[in-house]
Amino acid sequence: MIIFPAIDIKGGNCVRLLKGNFKKITKYKKSPVEQANFFFNLGFNNIHIVDLDGALEGKLVNKTIIKEICKNNKIKIQLGGGVRSLKSVEELLNLGIDKVIVGSAAVENIQFLKDACKEYKNKIVLSVDVRKNFLAVSGWKTQTNILASEFVKKIESFGVSRIIYTDINKDGTKTGPNIKDTLNLSKLTNIPVVISGGISSIDDIKFIKKKHENINGIVVGKALYDGNINIEKLSTLI
């Protein structure tokens, strides 16, 4: 199981949001580049990065920062935020990104997801961002009437590398992840699933590792930044 420390970038800074609300934002001291190197030096070779500005604008915004992080070619980065075209996917892969996360564009245009998976085999990650079982898009600002479970069934054969399941109402709360719904979703597909949102302690992570039924990884964000999880202890679970 892969542990992904998370870096959310907005305005050139490392930030965390509460339940995806851009008005409830916490900024942290380390720059995204410093934070990535800090994680890597502790043994985390896989990092989850979201360009929040990109998610809002529908295009890659923090390219310079991402390019700088990618200079360390030993870090495997899965990155999303504003990926809306095959050209954007190619640009990110050329920068050195390991896997490209698509969310809104995949939901709004399922053919785009299919084409991306065909063109860039084993490089496309689907972000399934959910409020009460229904998908949200456009930086989580727009709620759809599409059930996550139904959408995942439709894309089973496309060749998606992994699915990141985020319960938006858990994200940034440090109240514990939505393990039940993530496990339920994982049973609907053979695609590896990564759980995201609400991780509060090392105990959460240990429990998920035991109940891993197709859970391929865990994204850890705010609990790391706020010190609820000791990162040195976390590194022993890699």
pLDDT of residue 141: 86
Looking at residue 156, its pLDDT comes to: 97
What are 205's strand-pairing partners? none
What was the pLDDT predicted at 200?
Answer: 94
User: Token pair 């989580």 is at which residue?
Assistant: 140
Express each pLDDT in 146-182 by its tens digit.
999 999 999 999 999 999 999 999 999 999 999 999 9
With pLDDT > 90 as the criterion, what percentage of the chain qualifies? 87
Catalytic positions, please? Answer: 8, 129
Position 45 scores a pLDDT of 96
- Domains in the chain (CATH in brackets) are 2-235 (3.20.20.70)
If phi over 0 gives left and psi between -120 and 50 gives alpha, with beta otherwise, what is residue 227?
left
State the pLDDT at residue 47.
Answer: 98
pLDDT per position as a tens digit, 40-56: 999 999 999 999 999 88
d(CA 136, CA 114): 20
- Tens of pLDDT, residue by residue over 26-83, are 999 999 999 999 999 999 999 999 999 998 888 889 999 999 999 999 999 999 998 9
Q: Are 237 and 2 in contact (CB under 8 A)?
A: no
**Residue 184: partners with Cβ closer than 8 Å, 6 or more residues away:** 149
Cβ neighbours of residue 119 closer than 8 Å, sequence gap 6 or more: 86, 89
Q: Supply the pTM of this predicted model.
A: 0.94
Does the structure show a pLDDT above 90 at 189? yes
